[in-house]
Amino acid sequence: MTQPIAISPEVRAKYGNIKIAYAIISGVSVSTTPPRIKKIARAVEADVRRQYAQTSLESDPILEDWLRLSALMRLERDSEPAQLALMRRILGGKDIPKINAVVDIANICAAKFLSPVGVFDYDSLHPPIQLRLAHGGDTITY
């Protein structure tokens, strides 16, 4: 049974028509990254380097939107959108970091589609799940 993710009216009023895409995938086990996933990562890195060899990241319309949202949220430079930081890493000559198959696939998707990707253990989530503004006293759990 799936639970939808709700976006609070407060978030919509402040940031506009935000959308969330998600998938719930059962039966996933975390493992080391297999060679075929590493091969896909190398291909995505090569595509990123080729695509941005003659242009800046900031001129990409998708990344421009994420940067506008970050500015609206008043995020600092060290808190730039995760996919942008990953792209800078790739363009700086580094590879997508190898952590485990699940995280690596999320990073590959973030670099390919220029969108942040989060991966969570569904069994550890406690619905209802809501995207909302933080309130005083909220804590961050890692």
How far apart are the C-alpha atoms of 122 and 107, rounded to whole Å? Answer: 19
Q: What is the pTM of this model?
A: 0.79
The residue to which tokens 């959308």 are assigned:
19
* CA-based torsion, 78, 84, 89, 91: positive or negative: negative
How far apart are the C-alpha atoms of 59 and 80, rounded to whole Å? Answer: 15
The region of weakest confidence among 48-57, 111-120, 125-134 is 125-134
Average model confidence (pLDDT) across the chain: 86
87: pLDDT strictly greater than 50: yes
The region of weakest confidence among 23-32, 76-85, 95-104, 105-114 is 76-85
pLDDT at 23: 84
How far apart are the C-alpha atoms of 119 and 122, rounded to whole Å? Answer: 9
Buried b (16+ CB within 10 A) or exposed e, 77-99: eeebbbbbebbebbbeeeebeee
Q: List the end-to-end C-alpha distance of the chain, in Å, as a whole number.
A: 25
How far apart are the C-alpha atoms of 123 and 1, rounded to whole Å? Answer: 12
How far apart are the C-alpha atoms of 58 and 91, rounded to whole Å? Answer: 13
